[in-house]
Amino acid sequence: MVGQTLCHVLFVCLVSSSLGLAANVVQGRDPAAADPPAVEAAGAELSAQSKAAADAIEWHSLFDGKTLGGWKSTAFGGEGEVTVEEGAIQIAMGSDMSGITWTEKVPRQHYEISVEAQRVEGTDFFCGLTFPVGDDPCSFIVGGWGGGVIGLSTIDGQDAANNSTTQFQEFQRGRWYAVRVRVSPERIECFLDDERVVDQLLRDRIISIRDEVIPSKPLGIATYATTARLKNIRWRNIAKPSGQSEEGKAD
């Protein structure tokens, strides 16, 4: 019996060696199976490459870092000077509102828009991003009402300091913050440094803006008694639920 068992083991080892699979036999793994960590690593790398490629294709830049291009200084009255310096748009402090308005085509639905914003000086909002929600405008306020309020203006006639989206956060001067807004027919989502801070459902809600922000329509970025810098302004389409045939695109 011992001799038969030994012969059987030698036979298995010889066959496995000839196939280059001895390691799999000794470790009790399926010889036909690929190395799981290697497969996972390869899959993760391909996924990351696909995502990076998709992002590079989908995003549309609204600022080249050199000129205002399609942006113009917003005529609020008493606005500060708008310049391009060191790859960023600088909006000087005004009395009270200053900003920029996009003069070319804009998306209306199924899109994201993002910008990096920095408070240089001042104590009020350094990014009041006004954007289309279909045919209606809305504003995402960052750092308002004394410097720390974030939220949407307006929801059912209530501004960012007085509705369900109101939040408070400390903002540091000289630090860049990544601001992103996602618009669909069902909701408005807002992100700061990739953290979602607003998720506003739109059903049975009245979406609008404050009267003083009307010059920012349809797409603009404003400040209030604050000097700010902006860069990496861009937008992209987002996926629509199945069954919706209309393409999300700039109008």
Determine the pLDDT at residue 239.
81
Residues 140 and 51 in one domain: no
Phi/psi region, residue 4 (left: phi>0; alpha: psi -120 to 50; beta: rest), is alpha
Q: Are 113 and 202 in contact (CB under 8 A)?
A: no
The mean pLDDT of 219-246, rounded to a whole number, is 86
Predicted confidence band of residue 240 (pLDDT cuts 50, 70, 90): confident
In a domain, 26, yes or no: yes
The reply to whether 162 and 130 lie within a common domain is yes
Residue 246 belongs to a domain: no
What are 151's strand-pairing partners? 141
- Cα–Cα–Cα angle for 27, 29, 30, nearest 5°? 150
- Percentage of residues of the chain with pLDDT beyond 90: 71
Higher per-residue confidence, 182 vs 7 = 182
Q: For residues 86-109, give the mean pLDDT.
A: 96
Last residue of a domain, one of 30, 58, 86: 58
Give the pLDDT score at 128.
98
How many domains are contained in the chain? 2
Distances 135 to 82, 94, 138 between C-alpha atoms, Å? 28, 29, 10
**Predicted confidence band at 241 (pLDDT cuts at 50, 70, 90)?**
low
Contacts of 125 (CB under 8 A, 6+ apart): 141, 142, 143, 144, 145, 149, 222, 223, 224, 226
Is the confidence at residue 119, as pLDDT, over 90?
yes
**148 or 20, which is more confident?**
148
Same domain, yes or no: 158 and 203: yes
Can you tell me which residue has the tokens 């998709």?
A: 54
- Mean pLDDT, rounded, for 145-159: 96
Residue 130: CB partners within 8 Å, gap ≥ 6?
137, 138, 139, 209, 213, 216, 217, 218, 219, 220, 221, 222
- From residue 90, alpha-carbon distances to 67, 147, 201 in Å are 11, 18, 33
4-8, 10-14, 93-97, 179-183: which has the minimum mean pLDDT? 10-14
Interval 44-94: pLDDT, tens: 665 565 455 445 458 999 999 999 999 999 999 999 999 999 999 999 999
Which range of residues forms the domain containing residue 185? 62-237
Q: What pLDDT shows up at residue 219?
A: 98
Res 106: pLDDT: 93
Residue 20 forms part of a structural domain: yes
Please tell me whether residues 93 and 40 are part of one structural domain.
no
* Bigger pLDDT: 22 vs 52: 52
Q: Could you report how far apart the first and last alpha carbons of the chain are, in Å? A: 84
Q: DSSP for 30-66?
A: -TTS--HHHHHHHHHHHHHHHHHHHHHHH-EES--SS
225-239: average pLDDT = 96
Provide the H-helix boundaries in the chain: 2-18, 22-26, 36-58
Phi-psi region of 87 (alpha: psi -120 to 50; beta: other; left: phi over 0): left
Same domain assignment for residues 35 and 68: no
- pLDDT by residue (tens digit) across 187-203? 999 999 999 999 999 99
Residue-level pLDDT at 66 = 97
Are 32 and 126 members of one domain?
A: no
Q: Which residues pair with 91 in a beta bridge?
A: 82, 228
217 shares a domain with 113: yes
Q: For residues 220-246, give the mean pLDDT.
A: 86
If asked whether residues 203 and 95 sit together in one domain, one would say yes
Q: Same structural domain for residues 20 and 69? A: no
Q: Which of 17-21, 33-37, 206-210 has the lowest mean pLDDT?
A: 17-21
- The span from the CA of 71 to the CA of 130, in Å, is 14
CATH number for 213:
2.60.120.560
